[in-house]
Amino acid sequence: MSARPHIFDLDPQSLRVLVAQWGWPAFRADQVLDWVYRHAVADPAAMTNLSARDRAVLAEHVDFLAGETVADLTGSDGTRKLLLRWNQPSAASRSDTPVSLPLASGVPVDTSAQETECVMIPADERRTACISSQVGCPVGCTFCASGLGGLDGNLAAGRIVEQVWRLNRDLHAIGERISNVVFMGMGEPLANYAAVMRAVRTLMAPWGLHIGARRITISTVGLPRAIERLADEDLPVTLAISLHAPNDALRRELIPWAEYTTIADLMDAGRYYFQQTGREVTLEYILLGGVNDHAEHADQLASVAKTLRANVNLIRYNEVAGLPYARPGDAAVRRFQEVLRQRGVNAHIRASRGRDIAAACGQLRHEHRAARAV
């Protein structure tokens, strides 16, 4: 098992301490990070302003890419999805401790040979990275592929950052870059709180990927205490609450973790988030055909949304083989949106992207696992 630090777990200060042990001047650390983040280079041999000896030392003592690509798919709409396998835990990931939340304590961290997904979504001038924070998911939403195998572990901060870096590397080659990041991939970000916060600060840092906080979205199924903690971080990221039902009874049928809280508690936490950050909250709502997409559901959702400064993102369900849910028709989605708008709620229908490359969260991993099991 490697005990070498992962480059994406290191900030300038910690890397300066490390290179000092090798007798290097402190500015060498800044040169290395400049290669990694400004030039999208993760191969010490290509860092040409370091001597050949220094490049060899760096390659011997630091891990650069901790994952390997298992699948790399590009959709007809330009959406790109990677399935990554993390073969060995890094030293940083073994010591990372998840925040104490329901079902999160005692979670193993980064066990070997485990896979996560990340996606690059192009839209107009934006290039959005949708990334995972955990291996699998503990929430167990009944309509989602991410949690079908349960939770295998938390991703260390560096492995969260590496997902963005990998998607950014190929964009860099054509003069583009990741402009936005959403924590909407596999896992519940606020159940891996410490690592997610460290990753966000690296993504934002001028020495890192330098992505503004307002271009970063953290999507949570709803952990009120963790939302309040996030509100006090002085990080004006966008908070998205995955609601998916307008009342507690239906929500608990769809989302097992909803047993631990109520929609009223979530709205209280959302109001606190707005008060502390000035940022409107996004309510995410996956429309499941015949389940949560009726007019009365839209009316109930409008009543919920109007209790705080929020907008609603309506998401058409992407079907997952083996799960008993259907994608609603366009007319049903538009009717649902119209009810919300008539009630004065700012509601948008999110464009479906990457449907031809297993776009749903956890779907690609699920399909690969199923294929291997045959």
Q: How many CB atoms lie within 10 A of CB 40?
A: 17
Residues 41 and 180 in one domain: no
Residue 183 lies in a domain: yes
284 is catalytic: no
pLDDT of 94: 37
Residues 45 and 109 in one domain: no
pLDDT digits (tens, 9 = 90+) for 116-127: 999 999 999 999
pLDDT of 93: 40
Residues 160 and 302 in one domain: yes
pLDDT of 95: 35
Residue 354 lies in a domain: yes
HSE (side-chain half, CA atoms, 13 Å) at 49: 11
Residue 231 lies in a domain: yes
Contact 266, 224 (CB under 8 A): yes
pLDDT of 364: 56
Give Cβ neighbours of residue 256 (< 8 Å, ≥ 6 apart). Answer: 139, 140, 141, 142
pLDDT of 99: 35
Residues 228 and 83 in one domain: yes
**Cα–Cα distance measured from residue 162 to residue 60, given in angstroms and rounded to the nearest whole number:** 19
Note down pLDDT in tens along the chain; length 374 residues.
457 999 999 999 999 999 999 999 999 999 999 999 999 999 999 999 999 999 999 999 999 999 999 999 999 999 999 999 997 654 334 333 333 333 333 344 444 348 999 999 999 999 999 999 999 999 999 999 887 878 999 999 999 999 999 999 999 999 999 999 999 999 999 999 999 999 999 999 999 999 999 999 999 998 999 999 999 999 999 999 999 999 999 999 999 999 999 999 999 999 999 999 999 999 999 999 999 999 999 999 999 999 999 999 999 999 888 899 999 999 999 999 999 999 999 999 998 765 665 555 655 554 545 455 44
Residues 44 and 96 in one domain: no
Residue 69 lies in a domain: no
Residues 165 and 302 in one domain: yes
Q: Report the candidate in 115, 103, 194 with the shortest Cα–Cα distance to residue 156.
A: 194
What token pair was written down for 37? 């983040």
361 is catalytic: yes
pLDDT of 149: 78
What token pair was written down for 226? 């963790």
Residues 45 and 78 in one domain: no
Residues 130 and 200 in one domain: yes
Last residue of a domain, one of 64, 85, 104: 64
Catalytic residue among 188, 280, 361, 367, which? 361
DSSP 19-78: HHHTT--THHHHHHHIIIIIS----GGG-TTS-HHHHHHHHHH-B---EEEEEEEE-TTS
Residue 300 lies in a domain: yes
CATH of the domain at 5: 1.10.150.530
Last residue of a domain, one of 38, 64, 90: 64
**Burial call 333-360: b when 16+ CB within 10 Å, e when fewer:** beebbebbeeeebebebeeebbbebbbb
Residues 106 and 45 in one domain: no
DSSP 157-174: HHHHHHHHHHHHHHHHTT
pLDDT of 105: 35
Residues 325 and 182 in one domain: yes
Counting the structural domains of the chain, the total is: 2
Contact 357, 74 (CB under 8 A): yes
What token pair was written down for 262? 């109520």
Catalytic residue among 115, 117, 188, 284, which? 117
Identify the residue whose tokens are 């998840």: 98
Residues 59 and 136 in one domain: no
Last residue of a domain, one of 41, 64, 87: 64
Contact 18, 76 (CB under 8 A): no
Range of the domain at 144: 74-373
Residues 210 and 110 in one domain: yes
CATH of the domain at 125: 3.20.20.70
Which pTM was predicted?
Answer: 0.89
